[in-house]
A and B are shown apart, each in its own frame.
Chain A
Amino acid sequence: MSKRSIIPIGPYHALQEEPEFFKLHVEGEKVVGLDIELGYNHRGIEKLSESKHYDQTVFLVERICGICSTSHPIACVQAIEDAGDIEVPERALYIRSIIGELERIHSHMLWLGLAGHFLGFNTVWMWAWRHREEVLNVFELITGNRNHYAMMKAGGVRRDIKAEDIPTIKKMVADLKAPLTLFKKTVADDPVIQARTKGVGVLSAQQVIDYAALGPTARASGVKIDVRRDHPHAAYGLVDWDVITAQNGDVFDKAVVRILEMFESIRIIEQCLDKLKTVTGSVDSNPKEVKPGEGVGLYEAPRGEVFHYIRSDGTNRPARHKVRAPSFMNVITDREAVIGHTVADATIILAAVDPCYCCTERMAAVDVYSGRRVFTAADMIKCSQQKTAELRKKLGAHGPKLNIA
């Protein structure tokens, strides 16, 4: 009988961006149990929302998460509009879609960079983040801020897109196609990336349905769900675009779905910008009150469906505000995807769902299955990068080719 000891990881650990705390119970190198302690990121947003009036609430939900900082506001204003029967001018709908899709591009690029980092390709990380800056420049032009755009408002949007800015924005968005094509080719052609991601972390369509996974995680397994198509909101019912799906449900397909989605986003943005030339008028219906009632707002955030519920009692504050972020549904699928894989693959499988803990304040864990060997986060990333290096040697490749003109 070996001795049981406890290894604490966190709450402030070198490789955690956000504070979480694990307690690993180990017997030798074998992990026999795991305690997860959360609450380091709990800010009481739902309760706080009840003390803010409707205009302030939108700013508050924007700060749930810095990466999906327009998904939560869109869902929130839609819930308010649903509860209070508020009309939204058509022009505002197009602007909402433009901001939403730009955010999808920057979020997917951020994910692509981090996935590259976990696989040991820091070049991909640096290049993805470099081109992400170009998306942030578009944001700065339209909204005045790189992140936290403060564009949404019950009854419309806060700022109009000026007619003289549209050609500049169109050019900046069109310029993104070249780097995106570069990444598409890199992922599709590189033998090492394929060897590391194909057949790894497979999630079947049935498992997606059983676990109610959302967003790119579900679409990579061939489940064609997308709130933008299923419950059209903003301008998604007014423009032409496709829901991207893949069949295999592995990490490779999750990456492919995200990359192809960025091209669809560009398509949506370009159509919306064209429509702005003909659809004129106000961008804000300027509602004066929110009638008593209940409302639900749905939006397809980069990670999946985000859900907001608001109950209004006729005052200027929500009586109840409930938020459900997509990562909450997605992280539990790790349980299925990780079993049977090596520890070196676990890092990228966990990262493949693009978990966001400030949205969910939940933690996914590989370690709960007793008898599985478990490493710390640092060991896992090292392990993953070593595997890539070995594969690279075996295949004679030198990492992803970035054909930079």
Chain B
Amino acid sequence: MSLAINVLTRSLNVFHLGGSACNNCDIEILDTLTPKYDLERFGIVLVGSIRHADLILLSGIFNKKSASRARLLYEQAPKPVVVVAVGGCACTGGMFRGSYNWDHPVKDYIPIDAFLPGCPPKPEAMISAVVKLIHTLRGKKQ
């Protein structure tokens, strides 16, 4: 395990990159920080700037306008950075695939480490995904 991975996986700074989402995944992400789940216990915090991000959570589809911005933001993130697609829209485009304003699946231009399907995924599923991701990065068995 490299030093970078060791440091990266200790206290994850999460940047939430909402595309053209319906707000539901975004609210469930916030929900994981409120008293019922309280992820801050484990040093997982939301940060306001992409330059502080260890983990990027993508939510919603990315339409023709927001896709290029999302690409730019990913380029600005310090590497290594872990990317999780939260929700069916970010994973595949979901029911918006046929829309005239739908660009591409986001995985075509941002390398994604974990897909977390669900509409919206439950906070438990989000926590479980992050735990699995940390284990995988550290090369541990599940």
Residues of A within 8 A of B (CB): 11-12, 14-15, 17-19, 39-45, 47-48, 51-52, 56, 59-60, 63-67, 69, 110, 125-127, 129-130, 133, 146-148, 356, 358, 378
Q: Compute how far the CA of A130 lies from the CA of B66 in the bound complex, rounded to whole angstroms.
A: 32
Say whether, besides A40-B66, A48-B96, A69-B24, A18 and B18 are in contact (CB < 8 Å): yes
Q: Compute how far the CA of A133 lies from the CA of B65 in the bound complex, rounded to whole angstroms.
A: 34
State whether A12 touches B101 (Cβ < 8 A). no
- From B1-9, B29-37, B134-142, the one touching the partner chain is B29-37
Q: Compute how far the CA of A39 lies from the CA of B101 in the bound complex, rounded to whole angstroms.
A: 10
Set of chain B residues within 8 Å of A59, measured between Cβ atoms: 95
Set of chain A residues within 8 Å of B26, measured between Cβ atoms: 17-18, 66
B49, CB-defined interface residue at 8 Å: yes
Q: Contact mask B27-70 → A, CB, 8 Å, 1/0?
A: 11011001110000000000011100000000001010110010
Q: Contact mask B84-124 → A, CB, 8 Å, 1/0?
A: 00000000001110111110000000000000000110100
Set of chain B residues within 8 Å of A45, measured between Cβ atoms: 99
Q: Which of B34, B66, B101 contacts A129 (CB 8 A)?
A: B34
State whether B20 touches A12 (Cβ < 8 A). no
State whether B20 touches A43 (Cβ < 8 A). yes
Chain A: which residue is nearest B20 at the CB level? A41
State whether B69 touches A12 (Cβ < 8 A). yes
Chain A: which residue is nearest B46 at the CB level? A14
Q: Compute how far the CA of A318 lies from the CA of B22 in the bound complex, rounded to whole angstroms.
A: 22
State whether B101 touches A40 (Cβ < 8 A). no
State whether A48 touches B22 (Cβ < 8 A). no
Q: Which of A39, A60, A67, A125 contacts B23 (CB 8 A)?
A: A67
Query: What would 20 A/B residue contacts be, using CB atoms closer than 8 Å?
Result: A11-B69, A12-B17, A15-B48, A19-B69, A40-B66, A41-B21, A42-B20, A43-B102, A48-B95, A48-B99, A63-B24, A63-B95, A69-B24, A129-B31, A130-B34, A130-B36, A146-B120, A146-B122, A148-B24, A378-B48
Q: Compute how far the CA of A11 lies from the CA of B125 in the bound complex, rounded to whole angstroms.
A: 28
Q: Compute how far the CA of A127 lies from the CA of B99 in the bound complex, rounded to whole angstroms.
A: 39
In whole Å, how far is B23's beta carbon from the nearest beta carbon of chain A?
4
Set of chain B residues within 8 Å of A52, measured between Cβ atoms: 95
Q: Compute how far the CA of A69 lies from the CA of B120 in the bound complex, rounded to whole angstroms.
A: 12
- Closest 10 pairs between A and B when the two form their complex, measured CB to CB: A66-B24, A14-B48, A129-B34, A66-B23, A44-B99, A130-B35, A66-B22, A40-B66, A44-B101, A41-B20
Interface of A is mostly: loop
State whether B61 touches A43 (Cβ < 8 A). yes
Set of chain B residues within 8 Å of A133, measured between Cβ atoms: 31, 34, 36
Q: Compute how far the CA of A387 lies from the CA of B19 in the bound complex, rounded to whole angstroms.
A: 33
Q: Compute how far the CA of A65 lies from the CA of B120 in the bound complex, rounded to whole angstroms.
A: 12
Set of chain A residues within 8 Å of B14, measured between Cβ atoms: none
State whether A63 touches B22 (Cβ < 8 A). yes
In whole Å, how far is B24's beta carbon from the nearest beta carbon of chain A?
2
Chain A: which residue is nearest B97 at the CB level? A48
Q: Compute how far the CA of A59 lies from the CA of B25 in the bound complex, rounded to whole angstroms.
A: 16
Which of A42, A67, A69, A378: most chain B Cβ within 10 A? A42
B127, CB-defined interface residue at 8 Å: no
State whether A110 touches B100 (Cβ < 8 A). no
Q: Compute how far the CA of A42 lies from the CA of B100 in the bound complex, rounded to whole angstroms.
A: 10
State whether B22 touches A40 (Cβ < 8 A). no
Interface of B is mostly: mixed
State whether A12 touches B73 (Cβ < 8 A). yes
State whether B27 touches A147 (Cβ < 8 A). yes
Chain B: which residue is nearest A146 at the CB level? B122
Chain A: which residue is nearest B73 at the CB level? A12
Q: Which of A15, A42, A65, A356 contacts B65 (CB 8 A)?
A: A42
State whether A19 touches B119 (Cβ < 8 A). no
Q: Which of A15, A64, A110 contacts B27 (CB 8 A)?
A: A110
Set of chain B residues within 8 Å of A40, measured between Cβ atoms: 19-20, 63, 65-66, 69
Set of chain A residues within 8 Å of B99, measured between Cβ atoms: 43-45, 47-48
State whether B120 touches A148 (Cβ < 8 A). yes
Say whether, besides A40-B20, A40-B63, A44-B101, A126 and B95 are in contact (CB < 8 Å): no
19 extra A-B contacts, CB within 8 A, seeds A14-B48, A65-B22, A358-B20: A15-B48, A19-B18, A19-B19, A19-B69, A42-B65, A43-B101, A44-B99, A45-B99, A47-B99, A48-B95, A51-B98, A59-B95, A63-B119, A64-B22, A129-B30, A133-B36, A147-B28, A148-B24, A358-B22
Q: Compute how far the CA of A42 lies from the CA of B28 in the bound complex, rounded to whole angstroms.
A: 21
State whether A17 touches B48 (Cβ < 8 A). no
Set of chain B residues within 8 Å of A64, measured between Cβ atoms: 22
Say whether, besides A42-B101, A129-B35, A356 and B23 are in contact (CB < 8 Å): yes
Q: Which of A17, A48, A69 contacts B98 (CB 8 A)?
A: A48
Set of chain B residues within 8 Å of A65, measured between Cβ atoms: 22-23
Set of chain B residues within 8 Å of A60, measured between Cβ atoms: 95
State whether B27 touches A66 (Cβ < 8 A). yes
Chain B: which residue is nearest A52 at the CB level? B95
Set of chain A residues within 8 Å of B69, measured between Cβ atoms: 11-12, 19, 40
Q: Which of B35, B49, B119 contacts A126 (CB 8 A)?
A: B35
